[in-house]
Structure 1
Amino acid sequence: MDPVEALREIAFWLERSRDEAPRIAAFRRAADVIAYSTPEQLADLEEAGWMALPDIGSEPAAIIRECAGSVPLYLLYLRGSAEPIGLGGTELLEALRGDLHTHSDWSDGRCEIREMMYRAAALGHEYCAITDHSPRLTVANGLSSEQLLTQLNVVAELNVELAPFRVLTGIEVDILDDGSLDQDDDLLADLDIVVASVHTHLDTDRATTTKRMLQAVKSPHVDVLGHCTGRLVEGTRGPRPESKFDAERVFEACREYGTAVEINSRPERRDPPGRLIDLALNSGCLFSIDTDAHTTGQLAWQGYACERAAERGVEPSDVINTLPVAELLEWTGAPIRR
């Protein structure tokens, strides 16, 4: 087996199961060393038994050596022992055709776009959007307009390579303090999917935050309202309380202006909380069930959100990413691409 493929698949399974980050990083680092070494460097590594501290430790080295003859036993173990995610939402999960909120190493993700999209296709998705951050979110290496335009060319090339799987162009655009969007309108209009999220000043008063969110969801460019409360319920960054806003008014605007409410799959977010899923559903909103994945393993987390959504009575017909790609892009008003 190709050692780069083996190491990255091991990282995928460990990420999927929420294993320790340093261990995952060790497999990814070793995969990168092998992937980007020259033939001469690979010959030297092989002579050294594939150990090259600090970049390739003993465990990845053993995996690389085992790839010479077969699929590594540890990889076979990980494949065979993986537990299902979100059994309570199986019907909804099976109805999903894609994922509309993911990140790559162009912003704050940890995997290349190509690796992310190959894994999305392997998971059975028909499409997947790459939605890296917008420029004002410097902590997440947000993309300038020029960088985003360059990324669109990368996506176009991948769509030729991966067809009929479809990589959707997109962005997670920051909702600025005044409710405007952190990217040029003309560029937003040219994207397949626009997820709009609040990332800053989450502790602002209720009236100000409500006004900010209302202006964003009314934008003709915005398709999805991302992780609407901004809360964190666990993890290294949390906990963080929900932002205060008039959810009834915001969800009514989402219904009126055709903006889906995201049900975010990340375990540390669980956003929106159950009572707000109920409110959005009763308000007549549509939903988008997304992973907000920053690594390939996190692409397998949609089951977490599906289980939460199913508990609240969300049906496949309520979720935009159960639509075939042509119908989805008609719904978002994306430009026709040949």
Structure 2
Amino acid sequence: MEPVDALLEIAALLERERASRYRSKAFRTAAAAIAELSREQLADTAALRRREGIGDSSLAVIGQALAGEVPDYLARLRERYAPARSALRGLLRGDLHCHSDWSDGTTSIAEMAAAARALGHEYLALTDHSPRLRVANGLSAERLREQLEVVAELNAAGGDGAAGFTLLSGIEVDILDDGALDQDDALLGELDVVVASAHSKLRMDAVPMTRRLVAAASHPRVDVLGHVTGRLIAGERGTRPPSTFDARAVFDACAAHGVAVEINARPEREDPPDELIAVALEAGCLFSIDSDAHAPGQLGLLDEGAARAERAGVPAERIVTTWPLDRLRAWTARAR
């Protein structure tokens, strides 16, 4: 295999396992450092050692790839993170929740879009955080307007769907304590996709939390209700119990307003829990299987989300991310 491809695949798999961002960044840096080199230059080990961005691990990967082997490092990661298999995964056309380095993601908007295109996505919604989430470098209205220009430029350069891929503008807007949304309403109206999520006061009593989530699900700008319980079941951030609320009331509001319930594909979340997916199904909700990716390799977590949705018996026709772009746009433009 090509050395650059091997280095980038290792970086993606490290991102998928949510390893230290410095480890994945090191392999992406190495890939960039050798991208323009000939095979003869790559075979000059002594010169490679002196090249900035090349360490012992990346040097070993380059050498094995040049020799026609799958590098040992890559083989171990492939074995450890073989994707979950499901028929539903093949029906997914895109992803409505991801982050770039404009908020708390690790890479540029262009790199996220390129990774989604490489996975065969028809569309990807860029949904960086809103201003109140300072710890995640949430976007002010001014920064979000600047980002809209970047998205438009990338789409123009790529033919705006002509090449089979469209980058959708969006936001993961914070749900405030009273259910209001943390961004200018008119600006939200300019976006392709609005994901609304709670990130604070997740231990609020059940009655006010229910009111909060029902208000968000009833808001005329909201398309997707993100990681609804806020729980964490594993990972470096530790664990966190789910928020308590009247799930039927929240999902009835989603169904009434055409808001999709997110099936968050991150393994440390698995949100909503299976029992709440069943409630949402009974309520007649739509669903959106999303990666919540903060790095290019995490876009592949859709494998996990699709397998979980399939096990839960979610019909493909009720998953908005199985829809083609024109149908998706018609849904986000629905009367509210």
TM over 0.5: yes
**Contact residue 102 and residue 132 of structure 1 kept, 8 A:** yes
Distance 1:85 1:182, change over 3 A: same
Which residue pairs with 2:221 in the alignment? 221
Between the aligned partners of 2:215 and 2:200, the Cα distance in structure 1 is: 16
Distance 1:74 1:229, change over 3 A: same
From 155, 159, 168, give the equivalent of 2:155: 159
From 142, 145, 169, give the equivalent of 1:146: 142
Between the aligned partners of 2:24 and 2:76, the Cα distance in structure 1 is: 13
Which residue pairs with 2:176 in the alignment? 176
Between the aligned partners of 2:147 and 2:8, the Cα distance in structure 1 is: 23
Q: Encode CA deviations 1:60-114: one digit per residue, 9 max, x unaligned.
A: 2444677889897468747975854222xx2211111100001111110111111
Between the aligned partners of 2:119 and 2:284, the Cα distance in structure 1 is: 30
**Contact residue 89 and residue 303 of structure 2 kept, 8 A:** yes
Q: CA deviation at 1:236?
A: 0.9
TM-score for both structures, normalised by structure 2: 0.86
**Contact residue 33 and residue 52 of structure 2 kept, 8 A:** no
Amino acid at match of 1:297: G
Per mean C-alpha deviation after superposition, the further-off stretch among 265-274 and 71-80 is 71-80
> Are residue 311 (structure 1) and residue 307 (structure 2) matched?
no
Between the aligned partners of 1:34 and 1:226, the Cα distance in structure 2 is: 39
> Are residue 49 (structure 1) and residue 47 (structure 2) matched?
yes
**Contact residue 103 and residue 109 of structure 1 kept, 8 A:** yes
The runs of 5 or more residues in structure 1 that have no matched partner are none
Between the aligned partners of 1:3 and 1:181, the Cα distance in structure 2 is: 46
SS at match of 1:288: strand
SS at match of 1:279: helix
Amino acid at match of 1:155: V
**Contact residue 92 and residue 315 of structure 1 kept, 8 A:** no
Which residue pairs with 1:245 in the alignment? 245
Distance 1:246 1:307, change over 3 A: same
Between the aligned partners of 1:258 and 1:23, the Cα distance in structure 2 is: 41
Per mean C-alpha deviation after superposition, the further-off stretch among 25-34 and 218-227 is 25-34
From 126, 130, 139, give the equivalent of 2:126: 130
Q: CA deviation at 1:245?
A: 1.1
Amino acid at match of 2:246: D
From 34, 38, 59, give the equivalent of 2:57: 59
SS at match of 1:242: coil
Which residue pairs with 1:233 in the alignment? 233
Amino acid at match of 1:60: S
Distance 1:75 1:192, change over 3 A: farther
Distance 1:230 1:60, change over 3 A: same
Q: CA deviation at 1:9?
A: 3.2
Correspondences of 1:23-42 after superposition (within 5 Å): 23-31=23-31
**Contact residue 49 and residue 65 of structure 1 kept, 8 A:** no
**Contact residue 227 and residue 272 of structure 1 kept, 8 A:** yes
Between the aligned partners of 2:69 and 2:147, the Cα distance in structure 1 is: 34
Between the aligned partners of 1:242 and 1:227, the Cα distance in structure 2 is: 10
The runs of 5 or more residues in structure 2 that have no matched partner are none
**Contact residue 50 and residue 65 of structure 1 kept, 8 A:** no
Between the aligned partners of 2:205 and 2:223, the Cα distance in structure 1 is: 25
Q: Encode CA deviations 1:209-232: one digit per residue, 9 max, x unaligned.
A: 111111111111100000000000
Q: Encode CA deviations 1:118-141: one digit per residue, 9 max, x unaligned.
A: 111111111111111011101111
Q: CA deviation at 1:56?
A: 4.0
SS at match of 2:331: helix
Between the aligned partners of 2:31 and 2:239, the Cα distance in structure 1 is: 33
SS at match of 2:47: coil
Per mean C-alpha deviation after superposition, the further-off stretch among 57-66 and 235-244 is 57-66
Q: CA deviation at 1:279?
A: 0.1
**Contact residue 193 and residue 332 of structure 2 kept, 8 A:** yes
SS at match of 1:49: helix
C-alpha RMSD of the superposition: 3.0
> Are residue 86 (structure 1) and residue 89 (structure 2) matched?
no
Q: CA deviation at 1:188?
A: 0.5
**Contact residue 50 and residue 64 of structure 1 kept, 8 A:** no
Amino acid at match of 1:117: A
Q: CA deviation at 1:52?
A: 6.4
Q: CA deviation at 1:5?
A: 5.9
Q: CA deviation at 1:183?
A: 0.7
Between the aligned partners of 1:250 and 1:319, the Cα distance in structure 2 is: 18
Q: CA deviation at 1:238?
A: 1.9
SS at match of 1:302: helix
> Are residue 286 (structure 1) and residue 286 (structure 2) matched?
yes
SS at match of 1:328: helix
Between the aligned partners of 2:28 and 2:225, the Cα distance in structure 1 is: 32
Amino acid at match of 1:202: L
SS at match of 2:87: helix
